[in-house]
A and B are shown apart, each in its own frame.
Chain A
Amino acid sequence: MRELSFDALIQLMPLWSLSFFSFIPLILKTLNKNKEPHSRVVLGIHFCGIFTSFALFFLLGFRENSPVIFSLHFDIFESGACVLAALAALQSFSLFGHNRWFDKNQLTESLFLFSHALVGIYIFCLSQDLITAFIGLELASLVLYLLIAMAPKEKLSLEASIKYFVLSSFSGICFLYGLSFLFGVSGELTVVSLGAQTNQFYRFFFLGIGFLLSGLLFKMSIFPFQFWLPDVYQGALTPVTSFMATGLKAAVILFIGRFFLQSFTIEKMGILLIALGVCSVLTALFGNILALRQTLLKRIVAFSSLGHSGYLLMALVGIFSLGKADYFPLFYYLVAYVFMTGGLLAGIQCLEKENSQPELKDLTGLFKTNPLFASVLSLFLLGLAGMPPFFGFFAKASLFQPLIAAGHWWILFWGLVASAIGLYYYIKPLTYMCQGSSSSPLILPWSLKSLLGFCTLGSLFGAFLLGWF
């Protein structure tokens, strides 16, 4: 551990600048006798905060052999994960501005919390030891419990919050329990040095890893731990759903990848790898099959995100088996996923009405009334289905590579089956949009328009831009 020097402060700037910016509106509100400042001011300041941290990661991160500060490490991979989380946060943050279900008087507090969820994710992504990772993850989760409950007009919101709170804190305990096993056996907590100790007390080690992993898999809703997901996604505010579906998920999967690849070799993974493979297959199938019968758009997104978690874990199994730290497919897919899911949820928020969640039948006639909006939505849907020529397709092409290279044919086969099933529910909203005519065209606020435009650009050209790196 190093002392707090000026260099360290500079290096930590993305984190504290975000925190700093998020305090400003809170202080303004306090000084203003607890009266809410103008929402544009609050949103603007928070946008600055998130964007600054996003930009600072590009400036300060991505270095080879960067120092470890407070067990936070700013290497290429870790910074990449943070950039991805920041991107997801930017997208979901933009949804706060025009959410009908959201109590505008709580804007300052909510955004303060939201920014700190991002700080938590940053810490989690950058952490070099398990304790720090735990702190980061729990910080993010704690904030999310509150944020999920902040949709007063939705009855399900409280239920979702309680559900998530109980289950998620249980998974946190699992994580902690596994961590204590690992510490007890090896006396080490840093990711890198843990692996060196694996030979002693092999069984306890395994037990520890198992607990740790189940805690993490819960957060990204892999098969045996996925039941909370649709209810929570439905109950939460759309921006919160968006952040959970994109930012949190990306951070957790990247952490799992980093943790295992830096700590273990394949021989030591053994049966764990097969278990992960089975989980991934079941997740993909479960998500895609259950999505077939859904009518609420948000639930469709929830199950589709479940399916994508499955694909991601499949690729991770492939990468583990190859034993090479080539994360490009994972990142590439995640960027595509973040753009498309973020965009889709933004579209869903546009469809939200005062008293009902958007359903499939609300899409009727959208091609006639809002042709551009409808085509943008169908772009996201087709992209998520992996249809060419969108980002999702190229992402899938890169995602299957480690799996094929490692020769996991059975996982691959079920992955193909799942994505063929998935096509049905991604196309179904499109068929609604083409038919009939709805009453009046939707009017979209400019912030949502620009967000949709941003996501569209990302899903159209992201594949080609990223492909040059």
Chain B
Amino acid sequence: MLSLLVFFPLVFATLFFLFPKWLKWLALAGSLIYAALAFSLFFLFDATTPHLQFVERFPLIPRLGVQYFLGIDGLSFWYIILSAFLLPLVVLSSWKKTSGLYFFLLFALASTVAGSFVSFDGILFYLFFELSLLPLFFLIYLWGGEQRVYAAFKFLIYTFFSSLFLFVSFISLMLIYKNSFNELSFSLLDFYRLDLVFVKEAFFSTQSLLFCAMAFSFAVKTPLVPFHSWLPLAHVQAPTAASVYLAALLLKMGTYGWFRLVLPLFPEAADVYGPVLLFLAVFGLIYTSLLAFAQKDMKKIIAYSSVAHMAYVLLGLFAFNTYGLMGGFYQTLTHGVSSAALFFLVGVLYDRTHNRDMTVYGGLIKSMPWFGILFFIITLSAVAFPLTGGFISEFLTLLGSYLSGGPWVWFAVFGVVLSALYMLRLYQKVFFLEESSLSQQQKDLNPRELAFLVPLAVLVFIMGVFPKGFLKYSQASLKHFQKYRYNYYLSVENLSEKENSEKIFDIESKKPEQEESSLKEVPLEDEITEIDSLDEEKLHSVESKSRKEKQDLVSPEQKNEMDENKEGSL
């Protein structure tokens, strides 16, 4: 099943070269089949377990310990769905392209993205992780804007260099595993079993070095602020489809890396160095928001807002509580949808006018009312307005960050205000004000464009009012992640029960003092007023609703966990 999901687009894409006449229809058909395949996971996926499902595992290069090891769990589930959901839309959006290579690269990108989200072998993960750079590089290089050569090479070399550190840390982990268990393995499940030395005072302990190496590579990919400079450039120069995939999925590979690798593997180091990353995140949040405010290029504004939104993910993640984790995770999904939609929208406009400068438009709402409405809905999500997905995720993130203490949340809330400032300014400059001559000539959306924009706008609403339906699939994994943060483990679902329970028992007995999951029962009312002091009364109904949902999400498990903790301490 998973191999099919990974390799189907790549294999299917070879048809584009064989039948160049039916290129677009083939691409559309292929993407729809792929989406159908991926959506079948909704029925097959078992949302109650945090462990790996649909596992395919056999040795690939025994001499190096490389395995072919695919699996899926709650953390990776949604990205596969997102990728498959976006593929048909991307194909529709690039309907005017005539090159077989272009569609081939798009499909190859989908393949590699899917591959990196389901690989549970370090080398295999890295393989897909790196391979995803190539299609994107060529998409930017061959179909990008004026500065595409520079942008493409900067993107490629920057991310390649950073991910080499990931490569090295995988090899180091493998060698450590070899020393302690005397067998070769790159399997992530085996890496989780490692007990890495951490000395709080010394920088040069195994765990902190590896943490730094991995954190660097994911900080570039996510991106965190001092390492973000490749992103705006790549986004601006990339063609629409590449921008969409870059924002919606390639950045998520970075955040997925934090969830999947950095935090579970190096929990103690994450505790100690977390504030540094949080500082970078919050600083970046405000810095990029201000930068976005100063831009005229529409794509650049969205690119900087992407960096800002990714900072929320880290904020939630390093809160280490349920709200923060769920919020951070949900943020990756809502950003995946809303930033994809924004890039689509700008792409639609760019197709007509070949101009990304927002000051040349104005009064566009008169000539393109439907476009204006859709743009507005997505803008609302990007500024985290209630009833949209962005609100839920940022709210949860900020709540989680507040509960975990620390000064970060006080700065981060300004990000929300700033995002409203720059996004609404963008909207005002393009759609209101005096109608420019350029705007007058434009025609409204055609059915094809509506076909790929409306689903996204609808989805933004659904994500805003029904987050439970989305988080349901990842809840078990996130809970598990939080509960066993200091001795994370994963197992393969279809192992015999006995084997699994033995493993769990082993690990639990190793470290009995793993409480303090920071799930204190805090009265919610106080915080909400503070966090949302910027919004109006309107919110209250929604707030109470989402609050209820959150309590629903949390309370039963929370109780169980408290009970378990009590037993542990006894």
Contact = CB atoms under 8 A, between A and B. Distances in A.
A224 interface: no
Interface residues on A, range: 35 or more
Interface in B201-222: none
Given A371-B17, A401-B171, A434-B101, A423 B156 contact: yes
A394 B64 contact: yes
A419 B63 contact: no
A416 B171 contact: no
Nearest to B127: A388
A467 B164 contact: no
Contacts of B160: 420, 423
Given A420-B157, A424-B153, A469 B63 contact: yes
B168 A468 contact: no
Nearest to A423: B160
B481 to A, nearest CB: 28
A404 B142 contact: no
Chain A CB within 10 Å, residue with most, of B126, B141, B161, B171: B171
A280 B487 CA distance: 40
Contacts, number: 83
B548 to A, nearest CB: 47
Contacts of B157: 420-421, 423-424
Contacts of B130: 387-388, 393
Nearest to A396: B167
Interface residues on B, range: 20 to 34
Given A367-B101, A404-B171, A434-B138, A419 B64 contact: no
Contacts of B126: 388
A463 B63 CA distance: 10
A410 interface: no
B170 to A, nearest CB: 8
B156 A393 contact: no
Given A393-B127, A404-B175, A427 B156 contact: yes
A228 interface: no
Contacts of B137: 427
B66 interface: yes
A452 to B, nearest CB: 19
B47 interface: no
A398 interface: yes
Contact of B63 (A405, A417, A420, A467): A467
B277 to A, nearest CB: 22
Nearest to A329: B64
A201 interface: no
A414 to B, nearest CB: 12
A435 interface: yes
B60 A397 contact: no
Interface in A425-469: 427, 430-431, 434-435, 463-464, 466-469
A132 B153 CA distance: 49
B62 interface: yes
Contacts of B40: none
A361 B280 CA distance: 44
B230 to A, nearest CB: 13
Nearest to B170: A397
A22 B455 CA distance: 72
A404 B156 contact: no
Interface string A362-395: 0000010001000000000010000111000110
A467 B138 contact: no
A350 interface: no
A417 B164 CA distance: 9
B266 to A, nearest CB: 17
B462 interface: no
Given A387-B130, A416-B165, A463-B61, A434 B142 contact: yes
Given A367-B101, A420-B161, A394 B61 contact: yes
A355 to B, nearest CB: 31
B387 interface: no
Nearest to A378: B134
Interface of B: 17, 60-64, 66, 101, 123, 126-128, 130-131, 134, 137-138, 141-142, 149, 153, 156-157, 160-161, 164-165, 167-168, 171-172, 174-175
16 contacts: A328-B63, A394-B123, A397-B167, A400-B167, A400-B168, A400-B171, A401-B171, A404-B172, A420-B157, A420-B161, A427-B153, A430-B138, A434-B142, A463-B61, A468-B62, A469-B63
Given A387-B131, A434-B141, 16 more contacts: A371-B17, A382-B134, A397-B171, A400-B167, A412-B168, A416-B164, A419-B164, A420-B157, A424-B153, A430-B138, A431-B142, A467-B60, A467-B61, A467-B62, A467-B63, A467-B66
